Amino acid sequence: MTAVRAAIPRPRTGDEGRPASLTAFIPCFNEAGQVDEVHATIDAELSGYPDLEILFVDDGSTDGTLDKVKALSAKDPRVRYVSFSRNFGLEAAHGAGFRYASGEWVVQLDADLQSPPAEAPKLIAKALEGYDVVYGIRRERNDPLFRRLGSAVQQRLAQRLFGVDLVYGSSVFRVVRASVARRAVDLRLATPYFVATMPLLGARWATVDVAHRRRQDGGSRWAVWRLFTHSAELFFGFSLRPLMWLYLAVACAVPVVIAAGSVGVVAGEVVLLGAVGVLAAYVHRLVRGSVRPALFYVREANIPIAPQDSLYAAGPVVREAAR
Ligand code: UDP
Ligand code: MG
């Protein structure tokens, strides 16, 4: 067995306190109209970093995003891509970005350039002070009101009511030590909710204020229902307190039902329905965890892909095995 001496890895730095290697990672879902501009902007803002990799994760786009990315990769050897067999969602795309980044550090960007690459050096400089993850905090967030309000309520509820450890106000614009990010992915959690997973690992974190731009091209790829599914993932995936609150509600409802006659019966029915709902949410998570084959499957890439992530990797030949 190889012994591992535990120590905080000292950042290997190039010139002027720069990391030795950096991956700029961009998840893309139907962003054909944006890919060229994203590439040009990253090239303009981050080319000064040694050993820069520009990693596009195509999350099952159907609009020619992959063709655009391939054209870029033919011209620019720093461009790498991983393309999913279907749309697996942003968390899966993050997982692939972390798993396949070649850089020591990963900066997470987006195709609509709402997280401006010009702000990334601030996050990187902070990270090199000795953190594992540095979150960008959008002081002026240019998103619709329901998104801003929804996120704020979701994160506060998670923290205060359900005791989930996360960094309030943190966005997906962040710089992460790739080795630590891969630990989070390798946990294979049913909910790969990065911001709530990092504290479970004991990752050292810091925040830096960043600018945030309005989305330029079309609407957000984010649907309203995602706020609800995301919230459910966060609350039920990282806390058992919803069950605790439920037991409390049931315990309080019993005397009310007895004392208040028919009104009480209605209140009791509401609590009962709530109870069934919360229990169903946990059972659903258990079942899903046991049947979900993978976080994502890769159809195409210009880098080597682990067999368990590849849709086409040769599995065991069943007829051979049966002989
Ligand atoms: N995205 C993705 N998979 C999805 C949805 C979005 O890879 O299922 C990408 C999208 O192309 C963009 C980034 O994630 O690069 C952020 O998405 P979007 O701008 O729609 O979200 P918002 O900024 O509104 O949070
Ligand atoms: Mg956006």
Question: For residue 89, which atom of ligand 1 is closest to its CA?
Answer: 8
Nearest-10 Cα torsion for 152, 157, 160, 162: -140
Distance 102 CA to ligand 2 centre (A): 25
What integer is the mean pLDDT of 256-277? 79
Question: For residue 27, which atom of ligand 1 is closest to its CA?
Answer: 7
State residue 1's pLDDT score.
46
The answer to whether the beta carbons of residues 208 and 122 sit under 8 Å apart is yes
The pair phi, psi for residue 181, each rounded to 5°, is -60, -40
Probe target for ligand 1 pocket from 107, 110, 173, with the most ligand atoms within 8 Å of CB: 110
Probe target for ligand 1 pocket from 36, 113, 195, 221, with the most ligand atoms within 8 Å of CB: 221
3-state secondary structure labels for all residues of 265-318: HHHHHHHHHHHHHHHHHHHHHHHHHHHCCCCCCEEEECCCCCHHHECCCCCCCH
Per the prediction, the chain carries an average pLDDT of 86
What integer is the mean pLDDT of 186-193? 76
- The set of residues, in sequence order, having a beta carbon less than 8 Å from that of 106 and lying 6+ positions away, is 22, 23, 24, 25, 97, 98, 175, 176, 178, 181
The answer to whether the beta carbons of residues 85 and 298 sit under 8 Å apart is yes
What integer is the mean pLDDT of 173-192? 88
What integer is the mean pLDDT of 242-263? 78
Per-residue model confidence as pLDDT tens digits over 131-163: 999 999 988 888 888 888 888 999 999 999 999
State residue 291's pLDDT score.
62
Out of 149-163, 187-201, 211-225, which region has the weakest mean confidence (pLDDT)?
A: 211-225
Please list every protein residue whose CB sits less than 6 Å from any atom of ligand 1.
27-29, 31, 59, 87, 89-90, 93, 110-112, 114, 215, 220-222
Note the pTM of the prediction, 2 decimals: 0.85
- The set of residues, in sequence order, having a beta carbon less than 8 Å from that of 266 and lying 6+ positions away, is none
Distance of CA 214 to the CA centre of its chain: 21
Domains of the chain: 15-224+296-318 (3.90.550.10)
pLDDT of residue 16 exceeding 60: no
Distance 222 CA to ligand 2 centre (A): 8
